[in-house]
Chains A and B, each alone.
Chain A
Amino acid sequence: MTDTNDTRPLMPLGLAQRGYTGVIQHLSAREAGSALSDIELESRLIELGFVEGARVEVLHEGLVGRDPIAVRVDSITIAVRRREAMAVIVA
Chain B
Amino acid sequence: MELPLLHLALVGTPNSGKTSLFNALTGSRQKVANYPGVTVERKEGFFVTPLGRQVSVVDLPGTYSLRGRSPDEEITRDFVLGKASGEIVPDLVLCVADSTNLRLTIRLLLELKRTGRPMVLVLNMFDIAARRGITVDVERLAKELGLPVVTSIAVRKGGTADLLKLTDEISAKLAGEAEANSWRALSVSELRATQREADRIIADCVSLPARPDTWTARIDAVVLHPVGGLVVLTLILFVMFQAVFAWAQPAMDLLKSGFDALGELVQATLPDGLLQSFLQNGVISGVGSVIVFLPQIILIFLFILLLEDFGYMARAAFLMDRIMGGAGLHGRAFIPLLSSFACAIPGIMATRVIDNKRDRLTTILIAPLMTCSARIPVYTLIISAFIPAKDVWGFINLQGLVMFGLYAAGIASALVVSFLIKFFMLRDFAPAPFMLELPDYKMPRLKSIAIGIYTRAKMFLVRAGTTIFSMMVLIWFLASFPQPPAGATEPAIEFSLAAMIGKALEPLLAPVGFNWQIAVALIPGMAAREVAVAALGTVYAIEGGKEAAEQIGQVLATKWSLATALSMLAWYIFAPQCASTLAVIRRETGSWAWMAVTFTYMLVLAYAASLLTYNVAVALGAG
A-side interface residues toward B, CB under 8 Å? Answer: 34-36, 39-49, 51-52, 59-68, 70, 74-81, 83-84
Contact = CB atoms under 8 A, between A and B. Distances in A.
Contact of A76 (B104, B188, B195, B432): B104
Nearest to B325: A64
Interface stretch (B315-323, B506-514, B544-552): B315-323
B107 A78 contact: no
Interface stretch (B33-41, B64-72, B563-571, B601-609): B64-72
B274 interface: no
A84 B431 CA distance: 11
Contact of B321 (A42, A45, A68): A68
13 contacts: A35-B356, A43-B67, A47-B64, A48-B435, A60-B224, A60-B318, A62-B226, A62-B321, A70-B318, A75-B103, A76-B103, A77-B216, A81-B434
A79 B318 contact: yes
Given A43-B67, A47-B64, A65-B322, A79 B314 contact: yes
Interface of A, helix, strand, loop or mixed by DSSP:
mixed
A1 B323 CA distance: 36
A42 B435 contact: no
Contacts of B192: 46, 51-52
Question: 7 nearest interchain CB pairs?
Answer: A35-B430, A64-B322, A63-B226, A60-B224, A47-B64, A77-B438, A79-B318
B322 A74 contact: no
Interface string B528-566: 000000000000000000000000000000000000000
Contacts of A75: 100-101, 103, 208, 212
B69 A40 contact: yes
B31 interface: no
Given A65-B322, A68-B331, A80 B434 contact: yes
Nearest to B107: A47
Contact of A49 (B104, B317, B322, B433): B104
A61 B188 CA distance: 29
B191 A43 contact: yes
Interface in B215-241: 216-217, 220, 224-227, 229-230
Interface residues of B, number: 50
A75 B217 CA distance: 12
B188 A62 contact: no
A47 B434 CA distance: 14
Given A48-B104, A64-B325, A66-B226, 5 more contacts: A39-B188, A45-B435, A76-B101, A77-B437, A84-B434
Interface string B408-442: 00000000000000000000011111111111100
Nearest to A83: B433
B53 to A, nearest CB: 35
Given A43-B67, A43-B188, A46-B191, A35 B323 contact: no
B549 to A, nearest CB: 51
A79 B317 contact: yes
B222 to A, nearest CB: 11
Interface of B: 64-65, 67, 69, 100-101, 103-104, 107, 186, 188, 191-192, 195-196, 199, 208, 212, 216-217, 220, 224-227, 229-230, 314, 317-319, 321-323, 325-326, 331, 356, 429-440
A39 B270 CA distance: 73
A61 B438 CA distance: 13
A79 B314 CA distance: 9
B208 to A, nearest CB: 7
Contacts of A60: 220, 224-226, 318
B49 to A, nearest CB: 34
Contacts of A64: 322-323, 325-326
Contacts of B438: 70, 77-79
Contacts of A45: 435
A41 B356 CA distance: 13
Contacts of A59: 217, 220, 224
Contacts of A36: 432-433
A16 B250 CA distance: 52
Nearest to B209: A75
Q: Most chain-B CB neighbours within 10 Å: which of A42, A44, A62? A: A62
B8 to A, nearest CB: 25
Given A48-B64, A62-B321, A63-B226, A34 B104 contact: no
Given A59-B220, A65-B322, A76 B437 contact: yes
A40 B436 CA distance: 15
Residue among A46, A47, A78 having the largest count of chain B Cβ atoms under 10 Å? A47
Contact of A68 (B67, B100, B318): B318
A91 B196 CA distance: 20
Contacts of A81: 321, 433-435
Contacts of A70: 220, 224, 318, 438
A68 B100 CA distance: 25
A63 B432 CA distance: 19
B188 A51 contact: no
Contact of A43 (B65, B103, B217): B65
Nearest to B331: A68
B17 to A, nearest CB: 14
A66 B297 CA distance: 36
Contacts of B433: 34-36, 41, 44, 80-81, 83-84
Contacts of B224: 59-60, 70
A84 B104 contact: no
A68 to B, nearest CB: 5
A41 to B, nearest CB: 7
Nearest to B185: A43
Max count, chain A CB within 10 A of own CB: residue among B227, B331, B356, B435: B435
